[in-house]
Structure 1
Amino acid sequence: MSQLKYLTDDINELDAAEHDLENNGIPRNNIHILSNDQHALSEHDLPPFSEWARRDILYYGARGAALGAGLASLILLSGFLFTISNPISWLVISFLALGIMGFCTWEGSLLGVTRLNHKLDDYKDALARGQHLLVVDVDTEQQEKVARYAIDSHAPLKAVN
């Protein structure tokens, strides 16, 4: 699946483009609009990005898990280096390693909740200037042609991919 991305500062033109896309056979769930003005999107009944797609929970959670796995490995390695032989001590060390990994994953995910998706970083400045990002998910070459045709009639929309 590929994505077509367009920027504009004209919400009315964006509304018209969204209706043209739907009228030309692009399903509404394949159309997403990212904007800092959520009120304007709801006024025009435009499909916003879901919070899950807007935020970077998985990306930062995976990074936290990787950091946690590294720290957990160091904790377990320290048990081997100090030649711990007591099974109860290994149980404590194992739970500590598991807890550290879980904590790092959790902290990474919390960090991801506060960040815009890293795939959308290129548009952060445009969004801050009040522009809106239209993203159209297309499955086939035919859908891509239809989407490009529907959008080309709307001059204020600038292709960014």
Structure 2
Amino acid sequence: MKRLYYFTKSLASVQGITGELRQAGIGENRLHVMGTDTMAIAQAHVHGTTTWEETDIMHSGFLGAIIGMAAGLFGGFLLAGADPWGTNLDSGAIIGMTLFGTCFGAWLGGLRGVSSTNHHLSPYLDRVEQGDYLMMVDADDDLQATKVEKVMNGHRHEAEEAGREEHFSPFD
């Protein structure tokens, strides 16, 4: 998936561009708008950003799950090998500890991530805090990206290209 970033100065521009993107076949679920006044964005019936997009919860939760899975797997092997209670713990201990470690790691990672800003958005936050609107448009392939660029090029005075991620994923 590709993610294209654009800045606009006004909410009216965002609304006009959103309408044209819809006409070009880009669904509203592909567009996320970030600004300082989230209430105005909601009242304008524009798809604003959510906690999932604004924070690093997905990235940190995924990393926490991977680290927790590795720790749980290691702990499971230790528990099964040590045989602490004189019972045969074999694969059940390994599976149980791995599942516990994965879930616990994802939870801890999510807690860390929800309290930090999305690392994908860090380069754009200064302009958002100054009052600009950041439009993030997701495209599945080059054809959709070309449609988005065509619409945005028609709004050269309103929309300023800010960046592009060729291989966007909320997990990385």
Q: Which digits, 9 at most, give the CA deviation of each residue in 1:99-139, with x for residues without a partner?
A: 56543331211222222322222222222222221122223
Distance 1:153 1:45 in 2: 22
Higher percent of residues as helix: 1
Gapped runs of 5+ residues in structure 1? Answer: none
Corresponding letter in the other structure for 1:53: E
Corresponding letter in the other structure for 2:145: E
Q: CA deviation at 1:85?
A: 7.1
The worse-fitting range, judged by mean Cα deviation, of 10-19 and 140-149 is: 140-149
SS of aligned partner of 1:26: coil
Q: Which residue of 2 aligns with 1:25?
A: 25
The equivalences for 1:70-89 within 5 A come to 71-72=71-72, 75=75, 84=84, 86-87=86-87
TM-score of the pair, normalised by structure 1: 0.74
Over the residues paired in the alignment, what is the CA RMSD in angstroms?
3.3
Q: When the two structures are aligned, how many residues end up with a matched partner?
A: 161
Q: Which digits, 9 at most, give the CA deviation of each residue in 1:75-97, with x for residues without a partner?
A: 5576689785723899xx97788
The equivalences for 1:32-111 within 5 A come to 32-69=32-69, 71-72=71-72, 75=75, 84=84, 86-87=86-87, 102-111=103-112
Q: Which residue of 1 aligns with 2:132?
A: 131
SS of aligned partner of 2:116: coil
Q: Which residue of 1 aligns with 2:162?
A: 160
Q: CA deviation at 1:26?
A: 2.2
SS of aligned partner of 2:46: coil
- Distance change (3 Å), C-alpha of 1:28 and 1:85: closer
Distance 1:68 1:74 in 2: 10
- Distance change (3 Å), C-alpha of 1:24 and 1:79: closer
Distance 1:86 1:14 in 2: 67
- Distance change (3 Å), C-alpha of 1:78 and 1:30: closer
Corresponding letter in the other structure for 1:156: E
TM-score of the pair, normalised by structure 2: 0.70
Q: CA deviation at 1:159?
A: 0.5
Distance 2:43 2:83 in 1: 66
Structure showing greater Rg:
1
SS of aligned partner of 1:103: helix
Q: CA deviation at 1:73?
A: 5.7
Q: Which residue of 2 aligns with 1:4?
A: 4
Identical amino acids, percent of aligned pairs:
23
Gapped runs of 5+ residues in structure 2? Answer: 164-172
